């Protein structure tokens, strides 16, 4: 799955805003598993214009306003108000046209896109296909230092440009200002889903070298987007003020503006009660208090996010864009399995997620039609004795009597485990994992001695920091079930740098011409999940539910499995 811009681009790894919960109180608006709202709970208030609402987040944004450079889920949230993609995603997780439609050639290699006329950028310029071509060419430029090349690499000639062997992408043909043909290197079932969907304002970026674009004022201080709201003011680390874009192509937004505010999650209940915030992705610990407030409703859905523990197998060669398996600490499958058997996942869900998550033994959320049945997977139920047996069989034995195992060569064995900073539950969660491994004799210590600031943590993963031998992470996968963007042998988001021939063979098969047969594709991905579940290159922990607190004065919000920002121009205040 490629990293999405909707929660999604993000990283997620993000984020425990997604570590949310369900609630059975009659005051909440219940949702079924598809994420569709119960009609009985829908407001009958007539939409009206005016008003400003506040969206709160408990992580500070990095301050990147172009999706091509963003690596933070909070930045992706802001972009959800200010930017717009060529396609959108419906409640059934299907890609449907937004301001561009497409036709597919008989050989399934060429897609012809036709753009709507009259779509305006925030600076008044009209959107044309040149803006999208500019974005695709930028991502394939050798000087591009953002994390999104994998969204263009399948276009014919993109790799040649990235390698400096071509000046432009061969597979792009501009027909006229509103029509462009994109030809791919080979037929894949998800070529569309894996194609970069966000144009860049070409004239706004005129004169800026690609190597300087990510740090430019146009990206970080004076952004121009296509969305219903535009950036008016930014106070770093505190809030961003967005104002209505009257010329938004779908129609003038109802709200005057949106404030994106950074708050401490411990004060969220009071802020909701006092009317200081209107919508926020909340954590399970907030559910009980928030459901007691008469002015707040909770909306939930089964999402597309999960949490896991990554294990480091190597590093990424950024020059060749490949992952290199050159770190052997977790080479033993029995060791990896022992580490998962040692963790009491149900107890952790109860203790740190208020029971509002589901144990996961795969990294394909149950929301997806390709998810394997639990009966086909090893369950890894909590069993410390089983964990110790596996360690012993693999040669990890306590030879010096200190209570901790040595490796098969008799050398001291210790794991440096990393976790990002956040609310109090994060400290407890990290210590519970460390204690679980210490309890089976695998000496484990907290990397750097403390929880790590969120953005720094992401940088450490990006750069294969030696301190992160094992690390806690969360992914929001987006709507495409293909896991290759996160777990492919050379995926940038494969932070453990796991390289495995069977892994890549199965992932490739799931995207092949034969995969247009839906049954074949599911069977292939089930086989991949069984391989992942047996090999455990990462340790699946739990699937997260997505939970939002919403002030009753805010109406028109539509929640589905990939987020909360569908048609934000229809949000309105009812008072």
Asked whether the predicted pLDDT for residue 434 surpasses 70, the reply is: yes
- Pick the closest to residue 380 from 538, 546, 504 (CA basis): 538
Burial of 319 (0-12, 13-18, 19+ CB in 10 A): exposed
- Cα–Cα distance between 175 and 180 in angstroms, integer? 5
Q: For the segment 291-320, what is each residue's pLDDT rounded down to a tens digit? A: 999 999 998 888 788 999 999 999 999 999
Asked whether the predicted pLDDT for residue 538 surpasses 60, the reply is: yes
Assign 237 a pLDDT band (cuts: 50, 70, 90): confident
- Residue 335: CB atoms within 10 Å: 24
- Residue 482: CB atoms within 10 Å: 26
- Pick the more confident residue, 10 or 262: 262
Mean pLDDT across 529-540: 98
User: Between the CA of residue 286 and those of 259, 293, 388, what are the distances in Å?
Assistant: 22, 11, 37
Q: Which of 19-23, 369-373, 421-425 has the highest mean pLDDT?
A: 369-373
Total count of residues recorded for the chain: 575
Cβ proximity of 84 and 99 under 8 Å = yes
- Cα–Cα distance between 69 and 65 in angstroms, integer? 8
Mean pLDDT across 113-129: 98
DSSP string, 424-493: HHHHHHHHHHHHHHHHTT-EEEEGGGS-B-HHHHHHHHHTT-TT-SEEEEEEE--S----HHHHSTT-TT
User: Between the CA of residue 1 and those of 138, 151, 241, 264, 570, what are the distances in Å?
Assistant: 22, 11, 32, 31, 29
Query: CA torsion angle for 29, 34, 38, 43 (degrees, to 10)?
Result: 70
- Cα–Cα distance between 387 and 233 in angstroms, integer? 54
What's the pLDDT at 546? Answer: 86
CA 158 to chain CA mean position, Å: 24
Burial of 450 (0-12, 13-18, 19+ CB in 10 A): exposed
Q: Taking the CA atoms of 19, 25, 27 and 31 in sequence, report the sign of the dihedral they define.
A: positive
Q: β-strand 538-551 against 357-359: which pairing, if any? A: antiparallel
- Pick the closest to residue 377 from 533, 574, 525 (CA basis): 533
What's the pLDDT at 58? Answer: 84
Share of the chain above pLDDT 70, in %: 92
Asked whether the predicted pLDDT for residue 40 surpasses 80, the reply is: no
Assign 23 a pLDDT band (cuts: 50, 70, 90): very low
What's the pLDDT at 213? Answer: 97
| Overall pTM surpassing 0.85 (yes/no) | no
At residue 47, the 3 state secondary structure works out as coil
- Cα–Cα distance between 412 and 445 in angstroms, integer? 14
- Give the number of C-alpha atoms closer than 13 A to the C-alpha of residue 410, restricted to the C-beta side: 2
DSSP string, 93-119: S-EEESSEEEEE-TTS-EEEEEEPSS-
Q: Taking the CA atoms of 266, 270, 271 and 272 in sequence, report the sign of the dihedral they define.
A: positive
- Cα–Cα distance between 214 and 146 in angstroms, integer? 7
- Cα–Cα distance between 573 and 575 in angstroms, integer? 6
Assign 44 a pLDDT band (cuts: 50, 70, 90): low
- Pick the more confident residue, 72 or 521: 521
- Cα–Cα distance between 507 and 348 in angstroms, integer? 31
Alpha helices by DSSP H, listed for 100-175, are: 129-139, 158-162
């Amino acid at each position: 799955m490629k990293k999405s811009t909707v929660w999604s681009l993000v990283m997620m790894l993000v984020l425990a805003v997604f570590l949310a919960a369900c609630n059975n109180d009659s005051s909440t608006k219940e949702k079924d598993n598809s994420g569709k709202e119960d009609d009985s709970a829908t407001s009958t208030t007539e939409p009206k214009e005016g008003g400003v609402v506040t969206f709160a987040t408990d992580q500070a944004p990095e301050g990147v306003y172009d999706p091509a450079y963003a690596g933070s889920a909070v930045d992706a949230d802001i972009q959800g108000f200010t930017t717009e993609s060529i396609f959108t995603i419906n409640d059934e997780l299907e890609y449907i046209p937004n301001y561009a439609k497409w036709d597919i050639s008989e050989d399934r290699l060429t897609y012809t896109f036709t753009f709507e006329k009259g779509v305006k950028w925030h600076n008044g310029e009209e959107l044309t296909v040149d803006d999208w071509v500019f974005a695709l060419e930028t991502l394939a430029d050798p000087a591009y230092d953002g994390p999104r090349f994998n969204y263009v690499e399948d276009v014919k000639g993109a790799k040649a440009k990235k390698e400096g062997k071509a000046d432009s992408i061969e597979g792009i043909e501009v027909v006229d200002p509103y029509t462009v043909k994109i030809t791919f290197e080979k037929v894949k079932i998800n070529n569309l889903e894996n194609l970069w969907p966000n144009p860049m304002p070409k004239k706004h970026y005129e004169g800026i070298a690609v190597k300087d674009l990510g740090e430019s004022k146009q990206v970080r201080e004076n952004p121009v987007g296509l969305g219903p709201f535009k950036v008016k003011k930014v106070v770093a680390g505190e809030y961003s003020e967005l104002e209505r874009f009257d010329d938004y192509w779908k129609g003038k937004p109802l709200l005057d503006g949106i404030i994106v505010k950074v708050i401490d999650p411990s004060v969220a209940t009071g802020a909701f009660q006092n009317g200081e915030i209107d919508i926020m992705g909340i954590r399970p610990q907030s559910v009980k208090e928030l459901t007691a407030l008469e002015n707040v409703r909770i909306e939930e859905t089964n999402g597309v996010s999960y949490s896991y523990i990554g294990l480091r197998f190597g590093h990424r060669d950024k020059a060749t864009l490949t992952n290199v398996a050159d770190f052997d600490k977790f080479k033993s499958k029995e060791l990896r399995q022992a580490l998962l058997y040692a963790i009491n996942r149900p107890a952790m869900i109860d203790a740190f997620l208020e029971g509002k998550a589901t144990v996961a033994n795969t990294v394909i959320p149950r929301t997806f039609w390709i998810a394997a049945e639990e009966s086909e997977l090893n369950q890894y139920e909590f069993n410390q004795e089983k964990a110790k047996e596996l360690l012993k069989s693999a040669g990890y034995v306590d030879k010096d009597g200190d209570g901790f195992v040595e490796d098969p060569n008799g050398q001291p064995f210790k794991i440096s485990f990393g976790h990002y900073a956040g609310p109090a539950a994060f400290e407890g969660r990290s210590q519970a994992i460390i204690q679980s491994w210490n309890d089976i004799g695998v000496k484990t210590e907290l990397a750097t001695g403390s929880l790590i600031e969120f953005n720094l943590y992401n940088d450490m993963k990006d750069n294969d920091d030696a301190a992160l031998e094992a690390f806690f992470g969360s992914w929001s996968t987006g709507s495409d079930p293909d896991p290759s963007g996160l777990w492919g042998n050379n995926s940038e988001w494969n932070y453990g740098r796991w390289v495995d021939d069977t892994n890549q063979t199965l992932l490739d098969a799931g995207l092949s011409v034969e995969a247009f047969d839906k049954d074949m594709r599911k069977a292939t991905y089930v086989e991949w999940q069984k391989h992942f579940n047996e090999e455990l290159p990462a340790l699946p922990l739990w699937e997260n539910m997505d939970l939002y607190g919403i002030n009753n004065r805010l109406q028109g919000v539509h929640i589905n499995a990939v987020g909360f920002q569908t048609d934000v121009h229809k949000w309105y205040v009812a008072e």
